Structure 1
Amino acid sequence: MFVALNISATPNRLKILILSTPVGALGSGLGGGVELTIANLARELQSRGHIIEIVAPAGSQLGDLAIIQIPGSLQLTAQTQELSASIVMPSDPVLANMWATARTIQHDYDIIFNTAFDWLPFYLTPFFDRPIAHFVSMGSQIAAIDLAIERVAIDYPGTIGVCTRTQAETFKFGDACCIVGGSGVDPSVYEYCAAPEAALAWLGRISPEKALEDAVAAAQRTGLNLKIMGKIQDVAYWEQINRDYPDAPIEYLGFLPTYELQQALRTCRGLLMTPRWVEAFGNVAIEALACGVPVVAYRRGGPAEIIADGKTGFLVEPDSIEGLVAAIDRLPEIDRADCRHAAETIFSQSAWGNVMESWFYRLVG
């Protein structure tokens, strides 16, 4: 089914078309960690001589990266739906419009990289001539999507990439997935801070599955200021937290671009990660490590595979406020230089680029 690699100028250069998430414009924060994943991967592969173009919803911005802007209605996020939910397509769906565009221009590229966690791209896979590398950025959420992914995993071996083993294990077909990591950071973009202030940080989309209220409760117990950064995806949820914890020492800084985010993050004593669901990876964790900030996370999902317990942070029992508080008290034990070193080596943009480049080469044959 896959066609032969057709590269004209440089023998190892690939022409890669990246299909973005359909839940929000790039740069809006609605796409969560996928936005950073796309930006970092595109820049890393460009630096290696590959040609990159991105197809994304209208209004998308990622600095100087080339984006084909596609109009249409945004898709519902999978994490807000039940396991038994039906497939839903809005009127004039941007997801369908993006993939119609991709099918029209596919022969200008060697490979397509899909980051949309939705049924349609997997269903459409047999109708494309170019190989598609499907990057699955969440664990099992909706049964219908799981089935669509499983069929591709069986019929097109090696084309389903997941972030972590923990994430893969949420799928019945987990053994058929390639573990490719979730992202990598450019350490030069993040400033190391050896002497933090008496403050904590929490980063991410503000929605129930992220359990921000646990971090707020822990901050209130410790008396440390909690800097909250991220897109407010569920306004009612955010307002409820403020009602439940009116005296908590919290400061909402908004959804910040990377430079401003790392300036606020780097001076914090630690980052709290409190997911209620199985987090596939955790881009915010490696951003914190790049600043020298240790991470206190629930031992659940991707963060459990990122954090070296006792060295770059602490892993605590899921949903335990007591565990968070105890780990926060131990943060001074962590050598912040070890956190930075992990970001410069294991979780660097360059290291992740090696993995993704190898995966793409395998798929184009």
Structure 2
Amino acid sequence: MDCEPLHLVLVSTPIGALGSGRGGGVELTLASLVRGLLGRGHQLTLVAPEGSRSPQPSPSLHLETVGGVDQPSWQHAEHQAPVTIPADGLLPRLWDRALALAGEADAVLNFSYDWLPLWLTPRVQQPLFHLVSMVSVAQVMDQQIADLARWDQRRLAFHTQAQANDFALPAPARLVGNGFDLGAYSFQARADGPLGWAGRVAPEKGLEDAAAVAAALGETLLVWGVREDEDYAQRVEAGVPAGTIEWRGFLPTKALQQQLGQCRALINTPKWNEAYGNVVVEALACGVPVVAYNRGGPGELVQHGRTGLLVTPDDVDALRGATVEVASLERRHCRAWVEANASQEVFAQRVEAWIRDGLVARDGSIA
């Protein structure tokens, strides 16, 4: 690395301890980026909820944990919902600690999709950067992202263009994709295994459509992920013949990739505009082609006819047909795409370049 290493303070999501799975894809993103940045020689301080596990043992990584009540997720809020911070809230405590630690750092990188850190950005001396993890879900968040973009859009980065298109940005979006520790994913050449589905078990993930496909084909669908909405999970299971769904739960990466890699296809059925699609890339890294709705991030990740098949969103018949056809694809193409586009090394390089660009003074100041 030609430039001097950076000292960065990273602030985790205020929804669940790292390693619990409750933070969803943000946990995987943060862990991958930590490893990638450490590999590039940077000094990191990670501020995370109490009970969090360090993504990577390293003398260059210091973990600070903070207690408090989890922040409600914007993902399940009404579009007109106001900002809510609970008593003894974890979110302000995370940021109180992060700003106290940031005096000696070059920048602070925020992973949470929350109003408070966005609002703080033009009001504090420390340079704050935000890797936006979700799409438009609430008016107050849309407004805050738009306001910050007008102040200095260099402080914002997005995973995909489909995600960035949800927001009112005055300039082209900074896209950094995502990254994965490919050493943790083994390529598996077999193409005759079961069908798989992975993600938080919640209505916006569309598990019922994948279950319907498996039922129509008379097959079992392996399902990995936290059952976030238990009533929804039970409704999906009741809607298909007994035995159609085999619940595998939330697994750490090593166990997940061993099981997922045996699948002949991953079915991805988002009912909303996914910002990226981590499970899509995890499957591809194992050599598993993906059948997905052409909606949001997955529509940009899957190379139609090469690493998977894309179908019209919510067309279950088309999804079923593609699931039958997808086994003919060459699985090595799936792994090759991930190596070229979504390794943790490539991801860390993109994020580092974004932060360095944002730290360059503009017209005599940061903004």
Name the TM-score, length of structure 2 as normaliser: 0.94
Tell me the matched-pair count. Answer: 355
Task: Please name the residue that 2:15 is paired with.
Answer: 23
Map 1:192-271 → 2, pairs under 5 A? 192-271=187-266
Q: For residues 163 and 194 of structure 1, what CA distance do their matches in structure 2 show? A: 29
Q: Extract unaligned runs of 5+ from structure 2.
A: 361-367
Contact map agreement 2:13 2:111 (CA 8 A) in 1:
yes
Match of 1:328 in 2: 323
Please report the RMSD computed on the Cα atoms of aligned residues, expressed in angstroms: 1.4
Residues 237-296 of structure 1: per-residue CA shift (max 9 Å, x gap): 111112222425221111000000000000100111100000000011111111000011
**Per-residue deviation at 1:47?**
0.9
Match of 2:278 among 255, 280, 283: 283
Classify the secondary structure of the residue corresponding to 2:5: coil
Percent identity reads 40
Q: Judge conservation of contact 2:265–2:327 (CA < 8 Å) in 1.
A: no
Structure 1 counterpart SS, 2:64? strand
Per-residue Cα deviation, 1:111-151 (whole angstroms, up to 9, x for no partner): 11111101100111123222111111111101001111111
Query: Secondary structure of 2:162's match?
Result: helix
Contact 1:159 1:178 in 2 (8 A): no
Q: Are 1:216 and 1:248, in contact at CA under 8 Å, matched by a contact in 2?
A: no
Alpha carbons of structure 1 residues 11 and 302: separation in structure 2 relative to 1, 3 Å: closer
Give the corresponding residue for 2:24: 32
Could you give the per-residue CA deviations for residues 43-87 of structure 1, whole angstroms, max 9, x where no partner exists?
Answer: 011011101121111111134354211101101111111111111
1:118 corresponding residue in structure 2: 114
CA distance in 2, matches of 1:129, 1:356: 21
DSSP 3-state at the match of 2:45: strand
The corresponding residue for 2:74 is 78
Gaps of 5+ in 1: 1-9
| Partner SS, residue 54 of structure 1 | strand
Which AA in structure 1 matches 2:21? G
Q: Is the 8 A contact 2:284 2:307 kept in 1?
A: yes
Q: Do the aligned partners of 1:198 and 1:224 also contact (CA within 8 Å) in 2?
A: no
Which segment drifts farther, 307-316 or 338-347? 338-347
Q: List structure 1 segments (4+ residues) > 4 angstroms apart after TM superposition.
A: none
Q: Following the alignment from structure 1 to structure 2, what is the Cα–Cα distance between the partners of residues 11 and 302?
A: 32
SS in structure 2 opposite 1:217?
Answer: helix
